[in-house]
Structure 1
Amino acid sequence: MQHPVRRSLLALVLALPFAAASAEPRIFDAHLHYRPAVAEHFGISDVARTLASNEVRGAIVMSPEDNLIRRLKAGTDTRIVPFLEVSQRLGKKMDWMHVEDLGERIARMLDDSEVKWHGLGEFHILADDRFGPGLEQLLDLAVARDLTIMIHGDPAVIDHAYATHPEVRILWAHAGSYAYPPLVQDYLERHPRMNMDLSMRNPRINPEGQIDDDWFELFLTHPDRFMIGVDTFTATRWAQYTRLKDETRAWLAQLPEDVARAIAFENGERLFPAQ
């Protein structure tokens, strides 16, 4: 591994074109929520203004409501990639995997919707719940309908999913429950059809404003497997979007230009192309 000082200087030099090309390079946000309770306090125009001012050209938006997605698509220039957020419509967010007819219920939601959904989630699940019947049905449905699943869960859940459904596409929220670079690298190498969003991980990646050496090396090793995200699970998070995004840009600017560009927007645009 490079000496940290030499590595930091190299990263700064290599990142200059990325930083200098535009004060606000475009981004693809892979982890946004927009729910009815939030919409009451942070309206469509607020979302549109926030995304535009931060150069968010594309975004995964998780919502339980068709109407909110349709209004977002009509009210913003950002390309919206809709994920159907269903777990809280089925009960408590940690109990969804025990719903016996989960697959049928989600299939009906998809069939009855006017929105073309690209994925399902975010689904929270602990390791002990990975054998719940709902997870198997969810994986079956995702494979059958070519949908990506966003999992907020333990490593054992990811292993189980790929043991039973090797073809499924998973977006592992927050780089997993235990976002330590050695574990993250292990899982990226185990499961080539899995990608990760880095929402909520700025403090680990960029402590005290200096990108962590292990994260730096991990990004250089797997630049095509990560996406950034803010995770707007409350209206407060939406109101803080610019600050949270700037915290992400602070460590992106320390990466080589091509790596920063891949993580900032190219991976999202490649994995979720315009249709």
Structure 2
Amino acid sequence: MKLASSATRNAMLACFAILTSGCSAAYQGRINDAEVHLVDYFQRSDGAAALISTMDEQNIDHAYVMGLPVMKKWGASAPKAPRFVYGDDTPVYYYSFTDELIAREVESLPTESQARLHPFVSGFNTTDMNAAEHIERELNYRPGFWQGIGEVITRHDHLTALTSDEKPRANHPALSKVYNLAARHDMPVLLHTNITSQREDNPLYLQELEQALNQHPDTRFLWAHAGTTTTLTRTITMKFLYQTVADLLSEHDNLYILASWSLIEVMMPQGQIDRRWLSLIEAYPERFMIGSDVVGQFQYQAGALAVWSPILSALPTHVADKMAYQNMLSVLPKKPQQK
């Protein structure tokens, strides 16, 4: 989740990097957004109509839209209501109604606007062995409406610590059933799983992700931020990440990288492009996509996407077009039913 100051700073960084990176011109191609949370951690939202308005202003054609699978509790002992998910130590809890909120918002739009939004179902407990059954029930209730599953939140810094109940992980047996369901319905899974903890500058949790990828080769995994968070990038260097991602892409053709949020800090340390990442994107041009990761409010969407302009501008045009636009559409169900 980004705050206004972060979005502004990142947008300024993007503009500066374009001028200093040797690119002849900023990327001018079409843009899609592969990660929009229509609600925040209190399940509040500016609404789908506001999102479409922002997309129109910024010439964004399509967006994945999803809820958030957890709700921040306002504890009776708190002196005031929390304003942010990490505002105090009260927990978050799984909140299935998030999917209904998303569906109602999308369905309230005109048909042509609905066609630009691609809803993902996310309101389930990732450690519940009945989770796949719950998702199947929702898919049957709205046939053809849902186009993906996620964001599935597993290891996620302080959010994991605040989550009531058993702690989630990418290779949890409950999620194995969800991944099988996704494959049967030809749906991508947007997965957040940290690659490490904030005190370990090595791929501590790599085995959990690898097990999911190995056991579910027919499931398309969109790895949110390539396992990074701002908590991680502020406390460790993450220099290992490039080789980790390169190895994973080489070994698993069902893995895609959702370039959003904190990943830019690894690809562009100190505002300078690490050109190894450009080579990696060129080597796997169908496997990267960009997203804003905005949460409930959409005024920061343009700034969150603008941070990727230096990367897109430094890539060959046909590769940049895939990363910015085509890839997020290509991984959706091949023959979605009519809404």
TM-score band, normalised by shorter chain: 0.7 to 0.9
Distance 2:295 2:31 in 1: 19
The amino acid of 1:129's aligned partner reads R
Q: 1:151-175 deviations in whole A, cap 9, x for unaligned?
A: 1014323211133222111111112
Tell me by how many angstroms 1:249 deviates: 1.8
The amino acid of 2:242's aligned partner reads P
Structure 1 counterpart of 2:318: 258
The amino acid of 1:198's aligned partner reads A
Structure 1 counterpart of 2:33: 29
Q: 1:118-146 deviations in whole A, cap 9, x for unaligned?
A: 11111122498345331121122112222
Deviates most, 193-202 or 174-183:
174-183
Distance 1:112 1:57 in 2: 27
The answer on 1:137 being equivalent to 2:203 is: no
Instruction: Determine which of 167, 171, 194 is the counterpart of 2:255.
Output: 194
Tell me by how many angstroms 1:51 deviates: 0.8
The amino acid of 1:143's aligned partner reads A
The amino acid of 1:213's aligned partner reads R
Distance 2:272 2:335 in 1: 35
Tell me by how many angstroms 1:111 deviates: 1.1
Q: 1:77-113 deviations in whole A, cap 9, x for unaligned?
A: 76112111213xxxxxxxx232131121111111112
Distance 1:104 1:77 in 2: 26
The amino acid of 2:136's aligned partner reads A
Distance 2:35 2:120 in 1: 10
Taking every aligned residue pair, what percent have the same amino acid on both sides?
27
The answer on 1:80 being equivalent to 2:104 is: no
Following superposition of structure 1 onto structure 2, how do residues 1-275 of structure 1 map, counting pairs within 5 Å?
Answer: 9=22, 12-13=23-24, 16=25, 19=27, 22=28, 25-35=29-39, 40-63=44-67, 64-65=99-100, 66-72=103-109, 74=111, 76=113, 79-87=116-124, 96-113=125-142, 116-126=145-155, 129-153=169-193, 154=195, 155-177=206-228, 180-200=241-261, 201-235=263-297, 238-272=298-332
**Which residues of structure 1 form unaligned runs of 5+?**
1-7, 88-95
Q: Between Structure 1 and Structure 2, which shows a larger proportion of helix residues?
A: 1
SS in 2 for 1:158: helix
Q: CA RMSD, aligned part only?
A: 2.7
Tell me if structure 2 keeps the 8 A contact 1:72–1:80.
no
The amino acid of 1:169's aligned partner reads R
Tell me if structure 2 keeps the 8 A contact 1:120–1:150.
yes
Structure 1 counterpart of 2:18: none
Moved over 6 A (4+): 36-39
Tell me by how many angstroms 1:27 deviates: 0.9
SS in 2 for 1:82: strand
Distance 2:217 2:64 in 1: 23
Tell me by how many angstroms 1:240 deviates: 1.3
Q: 1:257 to 1:161 in 2, by over 3 A?
A: same
Q: 1:203-238 deviations in whole A, cap 9, x for unaligned?
A: 222344432222122122222210000001242xx2
Distance 1:176 1:36 in 2: 21
**Which residues of structure 2 form unaligned runs of 5+?**
1-20, 68-98, 156-166, 196-205, 229-237
Structure 2 counterpart of 1:91: none
The amino acid of 1:141's aligned partner reads L
Tell me by how many angstroms 1:35 deviates: 2.4
Distance 1:77 1:142 in 2: 22
Tell me if structure 1 keeps the 8 A contact 2:46–2:296.
no
Q: TM-score, normalised by structure 2?
A: 0.66
Distance 1:113 1:62 in 2: 15
SS in 1 for 2:151: strand
Query: How many corresponding residue pairs?
Result: 249
Tell me by how many angstroms 1:262 deviates: 1.5
SS in 2 for 1:239: coil
Q: 1:203 to 1:129 in 2, by over 3 A?
A: closer
Distance 1:140 1:41 in 2: 31
Deviates most, 264-273 or 182-191:
264-273
Tell me if structure 1 keeps the 8 A contact 2:127–2:172.
yes
Structure 2 counterpart of 1:90: none
Structure 1 counterpart of 2:80: none
Q: 1:104 to 1:78 in 2, by over 3 A?
A: closer
Distance 1:76 1:128 in 2: 35
